[in-house]
Amino acid sequence: MWLFTELGFYSIVKKGKHWHVRARIKADAERLSEKLDGKPEVLASYPGSDYPWRMIVTAKQKAEIFRLLSNVEYDNFKGHIGHDATQRGRLGAYHEVWQTMATLGEKARP
């Protein structure tokens, strides 16, 4: 699952019995880790991984992540990100994702 959030961009997957919260930017993983009970360690991924940083979290911490990220207090995601110094640099990428998905939606219309 991909999560574009006000804290950063994450990919969450289950590998065996463990949940991996992966990030392309170490600061994103660190920001999230600091907010979780037990502050899971941010680890360097294995060589060749397309997500260089990851945390291995418990099911309880995974649920905590979803509770934390569900607290939306803004009326426009891209506008909110544009005002956040830690996230502003990725605004162009978010616009590209938005446009790609908008195009996909247009193609799917009858």
Residue 25: what pLDDT?
Answer: 95
Query: Please, which residues have CB within 8 angstroms of residue 82's CB and are 6 or more apart in sequence?
Result: 88, 91
Residue 64: what pLDDT?
Answer: 96
Q: Calculate the average pLDDT of the chain.
A: 93
pLDDT tens figures, 44-71: 998 889 999 999 999 999 999 999 999 8
pLDDT tens figures, 83-98: 989 889 999 999 999 9
Domain locations along the chain: 1-72, 74-110
- Strand 43-44 relative to strand 18-23, pairing: unpaired
Q: CA distances (Å), 4 to each of 11, 16, 26, 81, in order? A: 9, 24, 15, 10
Model confidence, pTM? 0.87
Query: Over 80: is that where the pLDDT of 108 sits?
Result: no
pLDDT tens figures, 23-47: 999 999 999 999 999 999 999 998 8
